[in-house]
């Protein structure tokens, strides 16, 4: 039996702009299961970002329910949502969101401070996940001493450090070149194979094709929800990463 991590039922989100009501989400019902790899897609105005904010407990629905890992988070207050985010959700952002004056180790360990871990446990766990993302030799480096790909690896390690229920990645390759994007998507593939649940928010078709399920939003509703029958596996691209110039790789990435 599949283990539900996320269950949205008749979930709506409305915003009041002056005298006008913006219906960003209209009765979304959706289930995501443990160890799924899901891409969430949609054009500007589709409700994709609003849905991401609700799934990430950055916002609450106007109506309907949201069950995250068997807990109803629909009506929680800001402090309760912050606690849920720290415990249940690992965020990866396009802009990395690292503290510029802190080392990679300190950036990764930060969520553990809010979780109440002592210093020794924080250091041990942060080193463990930095090794997992192949950055054990960069733990004392600050963000400005790291490449874009390395900074994103630090951000991914930070997302993993609390062993969350889901990894929520918002355009994680948006600031990276083609070769580095492929390496980062390979890392997400490895993380998924280790049993993690991943929700990837993207507008890029070639990035979405790495996911096993693709959900497309349009006008605040789920337009399509389909299994991906042509999953892009990174092992296939290992030689491509090492041998192909960026310009040619970009062209290949845009092909169907």
Give residue limits of the domains in the chain: 4-253
How far is it, in rounded angstroms, from Cα 5 to Cα 31? 8
Q: Are 5 and 34 in contact (CB under 8 A)?
A: yes
Count of CB atoms within 10 A of residue 158's CB?
Answer: 26
pTM of the model: 0.88
Residue with tokens 């407990």: 57
Q: Tell me, which fold does domain 4-253 have in CATH? A: Rossmann fold (3.40.50)
Task: Work out the angle at residue 229's Cα, subtended by the Cα atoms of residues 54 and 163, and round it to the nearest 5 degrees.
Answer: 40
Give me the tens of pLDDT residue by residue for the chain, a chain 256 residues long. 679 999 999 999 999 998 999 999 999 999 999 999 999 999 988 999 999 999 999 999 999 999 999 999 998 999 999 999 999 999 999 999 999 999 999 999 999 998 889 999 999 999 999 999 999 999 999 999 999 999 999 999 999 999 999 999 999 999 999 889 989 999 999 999 999 999 999 999 999 999 999 999 999 999 999 999 988 876 555 445 555 555 554 544 444 4
How far is it, in rounded angstroms, from Cα 28 to Cα 12? 6
How far is it, in rounded angstroms, from Cα 177 to Cα 162? 29
């Amino acid at each position: 039996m599949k283990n539900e991590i996320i269950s949205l039922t008749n979930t709506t989100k409305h915003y009041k702009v002056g005298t006008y009501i913006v219906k960003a989400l209209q009765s979304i019902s959706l289930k995501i299961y443990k160890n799924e790899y899901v891409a969430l897609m949609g054009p500007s105005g589709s409700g994709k970002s609003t849905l991401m904010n609700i799934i990430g407990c950055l916002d609450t629905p106007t109506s309907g329910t949201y069950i995250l890992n068997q807990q109803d988070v629909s009506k929680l207050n800001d402090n309760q949502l912050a606690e849920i985010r720290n415990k249940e959700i690992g965020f990866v952002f396009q802009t990395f969101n690292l503290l510029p004056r802190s080392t990679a180790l300190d950036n990764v360990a930060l969520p553990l401070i809010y979780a109440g871990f002592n210093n020794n446990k924080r250091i041990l766990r942060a080193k463990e996940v930095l090794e997992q993302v192949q950055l054990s030799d960069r733990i004392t480096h600050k963000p400005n001493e790291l490449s874009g790909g390395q900074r994103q690896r630090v951000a991914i390690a930070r997302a993993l450090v609390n062993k969350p229920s889901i990894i929520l990645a918002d355009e994680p390759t948006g600031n990276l070149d083609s070769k580095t994007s492929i390496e980062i998507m390979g890392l997400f593939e490895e993380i998924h194979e280790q049993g993690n649940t991943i929700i990837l928010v993207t507008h890029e078709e070639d990035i979405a094709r790495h996911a096993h399920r693709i959900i497309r939003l349009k006008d605040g509703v789920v337009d399509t929800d389909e299994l991906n029958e042509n999953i892009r596996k990174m092992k296939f691209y290992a030689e491509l990463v090492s041998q192909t110039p960026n310009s040619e790789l970009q062209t290949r990435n845009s092909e169907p």
